[in-house]
């Protein structure tokens, strides 16, 4: 999945816009990273599947027919519509990810296509607890958001597939193959299939996790 498996990295830092260009990098069959320089765009096209957009840096306009447009800002997300022209343009420049969601995938009923939301605000912290929300899943992938109260965590276990973490809020410690890694909001971490890991919230900590299975 990633040449930085087993270490903290930043999708934002690794995908800086190239002046005058739009750039994409495929991470796996589900996730793609995009960087658009200022005053660039991706023309409106029709897709037979949903796309979950997550803006990491900057802002962009999602546009379509009949004057449709939504401005999506840093740390915001939205799920695009299917079977209608959707394009993306930016004045300031933007770095974002797209997660492919098939029509047949099971999507959380709290998330509606076309609505803007923040992953970190989908679920609260709760004293002494870990809260988990599945955003979308199928037999080969799961995208989930988790909130850890300070001091809570997941005991060591093996990843059933490749996974990537998006740290959304606070700070946590990922123990991967016996080594501790501090991860903070805005950073990322990836696991290889079978990688032994544990997660502890050194402070209150929220994260999103994309798990892909063969």
Q: What digits encode the pLDDT tens for the residues 200-209?
A: 999 999 999 9
Question: Is residue 158's pLDDT more than 80?
Answer: yes
Rounded average pLDDT over 162-180:
97
pLDDT of residue 176: 96
Is 46 exposed, middle or buried (CB count within 10 Å of its CB: 0-12, 13-18, 19+)?
A: exposed
Judge whether residue 3 has pLDDT over 80: no
Work out whether the CA dihedral 102, 106, 108, 112 comes out positive or negative. Answer: positive
State residue 2's pLDDT score: 56
| pLDDT band at residue 4 using 50, 70 and 90 as cut-offs | confident
What residue ranges define each of the domains in the chain, with the CATH number in brackets? 11-117 (2.60.120.10), 120-212 (2.60.120.10)
Confidence band, pLDDT 50/70/90 cuts, at residue 1: low
Half-sphere exposure of 148 (CA within 13 A, CB side): 25
Contact indicator for 8, 188 with CB cutoff of 8 Å: yes
pLDDT of residue 214: 73
């Amino acid at each position: 999945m990633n040449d930085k498996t087993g270490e903290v990295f930043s999708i934002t830092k690794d995908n800086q816009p190239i002046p005058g260009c739009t750039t994409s990098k495929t991470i796996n069959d589900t996730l793609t990273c995009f960087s658009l320089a200022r005053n660039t765009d991706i023309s409106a096209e029709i897709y037979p599947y949903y796309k979950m957009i997550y803006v990491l840096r900057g802002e962009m306009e999602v546009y379509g027919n009949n004057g449709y447009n939504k401005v999506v800002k840093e740390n915001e997300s939205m799920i695009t519509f299917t079977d209608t022209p959707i394009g993306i343009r930016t004045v300031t420049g933007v770095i974002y990810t797209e997660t492919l969601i098939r029509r047949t995938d099971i999507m959380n009923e709290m998330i509606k296509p076309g609505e803007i939301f923040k992953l970190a605000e989908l679920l609260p912290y709760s004293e002494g607890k870990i809260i988990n929300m599945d955003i979308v899943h199928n037999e080969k992938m799961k995208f989930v958001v988790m909130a850890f109260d300070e001091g809570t965590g997941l005991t060591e276990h093996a990843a059933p597939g490749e996974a990537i973490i998006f740290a959304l809020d606070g700070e946590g410690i990922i123990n991967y193959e016996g080594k501790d890694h501090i991860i903070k909001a805005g950073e990322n971490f990836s696991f290889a299939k079978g990688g032994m890991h544990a997660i502890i919230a050194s402070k209150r900590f929220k994260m999103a996790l994309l798990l892909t299975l063969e």
